[in-house]
Amino acid sequence: MPEARPAAFAGQKIVIVGAGLAGTLCAIMLAQRGARVEIIERQTFDPKDDYSNRRSFNVTVSSRGEAAMKAAGIWDRVKARTIAITGRTCHEGLGSTFFSYSRDRSVALHGARRSDVNGELLAAAAEHEGIAIRFGWTLRDLDKASGALTIAPVASDAPAETIGDADFVIGADGVHSAVRRLIHRGERADFTQRYLDWNYREIAIPAGPDADHPWRMDPNSLHLWPRGDLMMFALPNPDGSFTGNFIYPCAREADFAAIGLVGEMFRREFPDVAALVPDAEERLRVTPPSYFPTQRNSKWSHGDRFVLLGDAAHATVPFYGQGMNSAFESVLELVSCLERFPRSERARAFEAYQSARKPHTDAVADLSIENFDELRSRFRHVVPQARRRVEVLLNRLLPNAFVPLHVRVSHSLEGYRTAIDACARRDRLLRWFGFDLLVYAAAGGQIAATALHRVWHGGTGLSEHLARRRAVAAAHVEAEALLPGDPSSERPA
């Protein structure tokens, strides 16, 4: 990313539809380069609003998001709203196991409430004299040729207004983008929207009574409860609470109407969470369900007047923690393309931006769905576990040559597609050198050890519990893979 060039956008007016994460960051970067920016946002902004019932997965800032916020000079203030996450804790029954992202907990993601990061970005934007934000206005229509927008207030009957003097418009209005719909109207634009067969409901795990250390689980950890068809995540908040997400098959949506059904299941599968949230069932019942859409579209811009950004261009499911990080990479790429081409060739800049980003955003969308399947159910299969073990072994032997995929995704700035392809090539090569034999040997060893243990100890109760614990540990040992020298990794505060 080049240094901010104050003149690059001087004299230009840019309208951004949507004051979410991507739109606000983009506004800041454009204003830093001389543009006048006007943001149109449908919602009204209340810094105290916790955005619950809106968008409830906490965000995790990884290397990519950090690099983008550093480029905009706002990382320090955003970082102050986050909490360092140095590993994952896997909960099985009443026990739990921690797996560090690095041997000494020196590598961290930065977790935060989405609304806290968004609020901090909005505050930074509001301080910039080049940025004006109109809350409570919605896009009603647009003129594809001239770039004019018709906007209307959401809550009042005040008449619609026209913004006709923008050089161009950025549609950063999220998964259900109105800009996307309006620029696609009458155009050849392929579009796919697929939902996972799982829904989720947020459930807050409240802070404890100890003001010095209010967290009632490890605060520097992503907490996971994998249960096959069911799953729970919890991410720490700086105030001592955790944002929990309960994930269930959409076919079980009706269960929430039957009193007792969800509570019983919740206490059985997540006894430790149920102990921390006594009224879990009632809380889950009153929370509306949220869904997991993945979207792809073949047309991210229209002429030299409109371009899409963030979820409006490439919505993904959150299971690799890359939604915001990927959106922020798109912000960097868009600004960089606009700087690289002369203003008269803005349409080409938009095309270059899509060409540069789409292979990677499509790749991370697939990867995020695969990771959900892995988190939910891979724990029970011996061969994938063995594969992980062998990968970690190789990584320990050759820490700079053999870097696992998840490290290249979460702790590097390499393109997603590039990382995936490089790992696939490496894995093909390893297969020639007997990697699969090694994996099957390790799997065979594990099966034999479990069987021996069972014969030796006779009973099945304890040994099965232990085997399950070991299986979980095997799947998670990946997290301990060594990281190559990564300038963006941070020690937790």
Binding site for a second copy (CB under 8 A): 176, 181, 185-195, 199, 250, 291
Cα(488)–Cα(477) distance, integer angstroms: 23
Residues 6+ apart with CB under 8 A from 375: 224, 226, 231, 319
Measuring CA to CA, how many Å separate 371 from each of 61, 302, 318, 374? 18, 33, 10, 5
Contact 282, 203 (CB under 8 A): no
Cα(216)–Cα(413) distance, integer angstroms: 34
Nearer to a second copy, 195 or 373 (CB): 195
In the complex, least distance from residue 182 CB atom to a second copy, rounded to whole angstroms: 11
In the complex, least distance from residue 292 CB atom to a second copy, rounded to whole angstroms: 9
Cα torsion through 386, 388, 389, 395, rounded to 10:
150
Nearer to a second copy, 114 or 387 (CB): 114
In the complex, least distance from residue 203 CB atom to a second copy, rounded to whole angstroms: 20
3-state helix, strand, coil in the chain (%, to 5): 45, 20, 35
Nearest to 490 by CA among 129, 157, 83, 191: 83
Contact 67, 1 (CB under 8 A): yes
In the complex, least distance from residue 185 CB atom to a second copy, rounded to whole angstroms: 6
Q: What is the DSSP string of 306-323?
A: EEE-THHHH---STTS-H
In the complex, least distance from residue 166 CB atom to a second copy, rounded to whole angstroms: 23
Nearer to a second copy, 195 or 457 (CB): 195
In the complex, least distance from residue 363 CB atom to a second copy, rounded to whole angstroms: 20
In the complex, least distance from residue 193 CB atom to a second copy, rounded to whole angstroms: 5
Contact 292, 267 (CB under 8 A): no
Nearer to a second copy, 55 or 81 (CB): 55
Nearer to a second copy, 208 or 303 (CB): 303
Nearer to a second copy, 217 or 250 (CB): 250
Nearer to a second copy, 70 or 299 (CB): 299
